[in-house]
Amino acid sequence: MPKERPTTRVLAMLELLQDRPGINGRDLAQRLGVDERTVRRYAAHLTELGIPVTAERGRYGGYRLPPTFRLPPLTLTDDEAGTVILGLLANHPDGPPAGSTESALAKINRVLPAAVADRVAALRGTLVFGHHAEPGTAPDPRIALDLAAAARDRRRVGITYRSWRGETSERELAPYGLVFHSARWYVTGLDSRRAAIRVFRIDRIRALRPAEGARAAPPPPGFDPAAQVTASLGEVSGRHRVEVLLHTTLEQAARRVPPAAATLTQIPEGVLLVTRAERLDTMAGYLAGLGCPLTVHHPAGLRDALARLSDQLAAYAARTREP
């Protein structure tokens, strides 16, 4: 189960205080999944925010809000609302949010302007989750929400995109879906400039505008945005295209090779690993660490790199302690 962030728990504690006046610290800690010391810290944080939480000791004591206290209506700008929504969704990389996070999303959605709520609904309807890794860069929430709405409504958009090399280009895109993968946000769709399905990092999109002309065609039957992102990331990570046959099962290979590192395909002879590498000596070390027999299909230079690694390891093994 994904780990909830402190902000989510503080909001959950406020909801519990409103629903159950006088709830004690032990029950609060159990409901929030923290210890009682953390509950006291959350109470102090709410007080700092101007929410007068009081704590009373004794048999009939507990945490409570004044009887006359009412939260003011929640007001967020469009950008603030988008940022909150993206943050809550990104907090659940293993699947759709649930529990207190789902409750927070529902409450925020009820007070959003209709236009923003519609784009949020589009985001939740088009977003899929891929492999999760380290924290990445959050995209502009307006661009992410507009892309989601365009994907849902089958509309083409124009984007100004800055590549990892720092090059800026103008593209026309028919978005097919948004993907949260390795803690980054991506959009995949038909790039009219290349006449091919491409993947773009949303935080690198500098501007977005409606495109003129007819509505966008739907994605190919059975199109999987998450699979497209995973495959695309494996294609852009180095100069050398690598194809290696692993003599093992797909299940065992998947345990050793993360989805973002390579594409694995079951074939009659074994598992075909396809990826890219910047340095063949580094790839040779990676393959050696998989711990299974393998056959290099491409490139031939990878066989030489494996032979050099073997000679180097043999030389290390032959070393003895100096007298």
Residue 159, pLDDT above cutoff 80: yes
141 near 83, Cβ under 8 Å?
yes
Helix (H, G, I), strand (E, B) or coil at 276: strand
pLDDT digits (tens, 9 = 90+) for 21-60: 888 888 888 888 888 899 988 988 888 878 888 888 766 6
pLDDT digits (tens, 9 = 90+) for 179-235: 887 678 899 999 987 788 899 999 999 999 988 776 888 888 888 888 888 777 765
In the structure, what pLDDT confidence band is assigned to residue 99 with cuts at 50, 70 and 90?
Answer: low
**Residue 198 bridge partners (DSSP):** 189
**Two structure tokens written together for 301:** 């230079």
Supply the pTM of this predicted model. Answer: 0.48
Can you give the pLDDT at residue 135?
Answer: 47
Q: How many residues does the chain have?
A: 323
238 near 227, Cβ under 8 Å?
no
Helices 78-90 + 141-153 axis angle, to 10: 80
Place of tokens 């004794």: 58
